[in-house]
A and B are shown apart, each in its own frame.
Chain A
Amino acid sequence: MTANENSMIPPGVFESLQRKIDDDSAVKDALREIVQELEKQDRSTQATLSRAHSTTSADLPRVVSSAQANIEQEVQTIHKLSEVASKHPYYKYNYAWTRHVQDVCYSILLCGWLGGFGKSEVGQLLSMEDVGGIMGVPVNVKDRDVFHLTIEEYLLALTSLLDELARLARNSVTLGDYRRPLQIAQFTKDVHAGFQVLNLKNDALRKRSDGIKYRVKEVEDVVYDLSLRGLLPKE
């Protein structure tokens, strides 16, 4: 790699490329550290939220407020992430955190559905704007290059919520709550109807949304079992 005059390679060409690659690796390392922290925090949030499967409606608020406290910590980490990420074009390193931001989004959606974040009753869907507000980041940004929550992340998190609710429908019955499966059935159907108006390409979102119909069926089976035995609550 001599850079003398009689050389094909102009001086400094590969040296400056090496610098670019090294800088790039340093950014990736810094991001990885933050993302790992986020991952750890979200695991603990998920562990808290999974207590909902064995908690009666009356005790649910305690689970929810504990999860919400966890999520507040995650939001701080997202703030850190956004600070580092904002120094670079958003989509350049977006792959490094998109899955984890999606997981946090899912935690927030589930917590909100269970009555967290000021939702007075169970069964509410936090909108993408709500989630962005909780995370403290803008959503679906199109005109400037800043850290934000994307539509894809929100929608993928929403499919995770439906997976979890299908499980919750069964476990509610076990806990003797025969009203909640009805609520989940309606919610799942409504979200399913929404996904059906989307024109999805052959991507991750398509794959995940294809699974929704099975969740609809699962929950309907629970409702069917209850109605067969006359266990559905009378309105």
Chain B
Amino acid sequence: MESQSKDGVAPSTSPFMPMFERFRAELDEHHDRRERIIKASRDITAASKKIIFTLQRIRKLNEALPQHAIKSNKQYQDTIQSQIASVSGDLQCLHTYRYSRQISGGCQEWMEAACFQHYLETTTLLSYDDAAEKFRQLDEAGSGIELSPEDWLLGVYDMTGELMRFAITTMATTGELLKPSGSSQSDDDGMDVDGQAHRQRSVLTDLRELRAALESLNVGTGPFAKDCEKKLAVMQTSVEKVEKALYGLVVRGAERPKGWMPEIGDAGGGGRAVEVEG
């Protein structure tokens, strides 16, 4: 096939054509698959974000999700399931890792939503094994997509941001930090939030526990470690935001007239709603 001796003949087609045509078919297949996965990943990400929005409207801990939340998230769960079903076949065997970078974004965002929901329902951290199993089961007919430990961890990092928003919104609207025990919405002036009983858990103590665990993790070197480093800094800021908000609540809470409620409109904007009231 590769005869070069016919220099003067000026052949119109290259002797390598059959080989390259085979390559073209292979590369096309690869690119098509890659694009399908990227698209699915984006859709999973978008649906997961919407689920998180719904979850952020919940004000109770350690209870099953209210019906309205389940109902409004149903469509997004369905989207995630159908997207996973559409590409799980593309992500088997050799291809699991070949395209792991393309699906990773969706996996992380799903993990963030699943982890947040799991915390709201149980006030515990969704473990890697449970998360991976849950994720696999989303693909009812196929063999599912593997959730990598890396994506699990990056999802956990992002979830701390949701916990921060949840804690601050709750503080701003109810005047206290929610305790995982759930029922202890006791005192009316909001003074007991954290200081009163040190052993009592709150969203803040959970955040701190998570922070300590994440900080003591040795993630090694490489691109994954770099991702972790960035997310670690964001996570630390999140914890501090809650601490500052709580400080504001404790130090100025006493001056707050009974029954006073901050403007709901400010609630989402971090600690501001709490600080305004002084």
Near A by CB (< 8 A), chain B positions 122-152 give: 123-125, 127-128, 149, 152
| Chain B: CB-nearest residue to A199 | B28
A189 interfacial contact with B, CB 8 Å = yes
Query: What residues on B are CB-neighbors of A25 within 8 Å?
Result: 220-221
Cα–Cα distance between A127 and B22 once the two chains are bound (Å): 12
Contacts of A8 in B (CB 8 A): 119, 123-125, 180, 201, 205-206, 209-210
Chain B stretch 1-45: residues in CB contact (< 8 A) with chain A: 2, 4-5, 7-8, 13-17, 19-21, 23-24, 26-28, 31
The interface residues of chain B lying within 8 Å CB-to-CB of A94 are: 97
Q: Which of A18, A121, A182, A197 contacts B218 (CB 8 A)?
A: A18
Chain A: minimal CB distance from B202 (Å): 10
Contact present for B220 and A21 (CB under 8 Å): yes
- Chain B residues touching A, range: 35 or more
Closest chain-A Cβ to B166's Cβ sits at a distance in Å of 14
Given known contacts A190-B15, A235-B7, A198 and B23 CB-to-CB distance under 8 angstroms: yes
Cβ contacts under 8 Å, A121 to chain B = 5
The answer on a CB contact under 8 Å between B149 and A20 is yes
Chain A hits for B16, CB < 8 A? 125, 190-191, 193-194
Nearest B-chain residue to A203, judged by Cβ: B31
Q: How far is the CA of A88 from the CA of B199 in the complex (A)?
A: 45
A6: chain B residues within 8 A (beta carbon): 199, 201
Q: What residues on B are CB-neighbors of A235 within 8 Å?
A: 7-8
Q: Does A204 contact B (CB under 8 A)?
A: no
CB contacts (< 8 Å) of A199 on chain B: these are 24, 27-28, 31
Q: Does B58 contact A (CB under 8 A)?
A: no
Residue B212 is within 8 A (CB to CB) of chain A in the complex:
yes
Closest B residue by C-beta to A235: B8
Judged by a CB distance under 8 angstroms, whether B264 is at the interface is no
* Cα–Cα, bound, A12→B148 (Å): 17
What residues of A have a CB within 8 angstroms of the CB of B125 in the complex?
Answer: 8-10, 13
Contact A17 B217 (CB under 8 A): yes
Q: Is the CB of B17 within 8 A of A194?
A: yes
Contact B217 A91 (CB under 8 A): no
**Chain A contacts for B251, CB-based, 8 A:** none
B90 to chain A, nearest CB (A): 12
- Give chain A residues whose Cβ lies under 8 Å from the Cβ of B17: 193-194, 197
B26, closest chain A residue (CB): A151
Apart from A6-B201, A13-B213, A14-B217, what 6 extra A-B contacts exist at CB < 8 Å? Answer: A8-B124, A22-B220, A90-B98, A125-B2, A195-B20, A200-B27
Sample 25 A-B pairs with CB under 8 A, ordered by A number: A1-B209, A1-B216, A6-B199, A7-B209, A8-B201, A9-B124, A9-B209, A9-B213, A10-B127, A17-B217, A18-B217, A22-B220, A24-B220, A89-B94, A91-B100, A123-B4, A125-B16, A128-B19, A151-B26, A151-B27, A186-B4, A190-B15, A190-B16, A193-B20, A198-B27
